[in-house]
Amino acid sequence: YVSLKTSPPSDFSIHIREVLGGGRFGKVHKCTDTKTGLRLAAKIISSRSAREREMVLNEIEVMNQLNHSNILQLFDAFETKNQVVLVLEYVEGGELFERIVDESCPLTEVDAMVFVKQICEGVHYMHQMYVLHLDLKPENILCVNRSSHQIKIIDFGLARRYKPREKLRISFGTPEFLAPEVVNFDFVSFPTDMWTLGVVTYMLLSGLSPFLGDDDSETLNNVLTVSWYFDEETFEHVSAEAKDFISNLLIKERSGRLSAAQCLKHPWLNNISEKAKGSNIILKSQVLLRKYMARRLWKKNYIAIAAANRFKKIGSSGSLTSLGV
């Protein structure tokens, strides 16, 4: 194999174990370093085309530049004949939203502050390093474990290095988390990540997805027209500071959104330990997030079944051309 990691050099001998999750091009496995017993994660991507290989190499290049406690660390990367393997720090706490719905006691606003502050710290660092994540959806926020509140931002598969003179346009992502400029195929930049942070914060506090419509076109239309509001009942006990924080992110005009540095200075994310001593309001988000996650799982399974059926059809007709592929 060929090592793709530039610095610092590492010397792992990994034993691949069970699957932790799957994505667009491959699977993430739990693994151990046979020499030290260290638990790691291996993202194994079968690059079928030169373009896919380019995308994986981009992910490695971006991750290679980042080293922050709220960003998943890349330890090593190598390439075999038709696979690229990323050896990553292992985090055992699962998706942040999964943890919230599983927890026996519901989330308080102070818990939400602690989580959002760390996301802001990770985003602030990556923006300082001129990296745009561009896919900061809830699935990409993992918990280090279930006993602490520490989180890590994962999945730099769509991330890009920001080049001031290059006008970057993208066309990917999950409709409900896309910023208006992405939907409009307009230029993306640091504020594009800040919009998604606004969506994630709104969801943490309420369990509702602010732009989600009955179908993708309705969702995209809601994004384009910036049609969102604070559901009165769900946000009844949410602080004015939290609402101000979100209102300063979900703004159509990119330059109007708070930057990550400004978010970290916002009153909502400050004096958290003082606020924790006061009355700690329980959020209504847990029950609604459960519904949201169940719907997401249903959608994922539906897509998987539809794909399997399509595959079966291709198999029975014996040719790919029958579906116009």
DSSP3 helix / strand / coil % (the chain, rounded to 5): 45, 15, 40
- Is 256 a binding residue for ligand ATP by CB under 6 A? The answer is no
Token code pair at residue 282: 């329980």
- What's the rounded Cα separation, in Å, for the pair 145 and 90? 10
- Is 79 a binding residue for ligand ATP by CB under 6 A? The answer is no
Q: State in angstroms the smallest separation of the CB of 321 from ligand ATP.
A: 28
Q: State in angstroms the smallest separation of the CB of 286 from ligand ATP.
A: 20
Give the containing element (helix H, strand E) for 78.
strand 74-79
Q: State in angstroms the smallest separation of the CB of 51 from ligand ATP.
A: 15
- Is 21 a binding residue for ligand ATP by CB under 6 A? The answer is yes
- Is 139 a binding residue for ligand ATP by CB under 6 A? The answer is yes
Q: State in angstroms the smallest separation of the CB of 152 from ligand ATP.
A: 8
One residue of 24, 167, 295, 312 binding ligand ATP per CB under 6 A: 24
Grouping H, G, I as helix, E, B as strand and the rest as coil, residue 113 is helix
- Is 122 a binding residue for ligand ATP by CB under 6 A? The answer is no
Contacts within 8 Å (CB) and 24+ apart, 43-47: 43/85, 43/86, 43/88, 44/16, 44/83, 44/84, 44/85, 45/83, 45/84, 45/85, 45/86, 46/82, 46/83, 47/82, 47/83, 47/84
One residue of 31, 60, 70, 90 binding ligand ATP per CB under 6 A: 90
Amino acid letter for position 87: V
Q: State in angstroms the smallest separation of the CB of 59 from ligand ATP.
A: 8
- Is 155 a binding residue for ligand ATP by CB under 6 A? The answer is yes
Q: Nearer Cβ to ligand ATP, position 188 or 258?
A: 188
- What's the rounded Cα separation, in Å, for the pair 66 and 38? 21
Hey, which residues are catalytic here? 135
Nearest residue by C-beta to ligand ATP? Answer: 23
- What's the rounded Cα separation, in Å, for the pair 274 and 63? 35
- What's the rounded Cα separation, in Å, for the pair 49 and 40? 27
Part of the chain binding ligand ATP (CB under 6 A), chosen from 25-33, 161-169, 241-249, 252-260: 25-33
- Is the Cβ–Cβ distance between 125 and 66 less than 8 Å? yes
- Is 91 a binding residue for ligand ATP by CB under 6 A? The answer is yes
- Is 157 a binding residue for ligand ATP by CB under 6 A? The answer is yes
Residues found near ligand ATP in the complex (CB under 6 A): 20-21, 23-26, 28, 41, 43, 72, 88-91, 95, 139-140, 154-155, 157
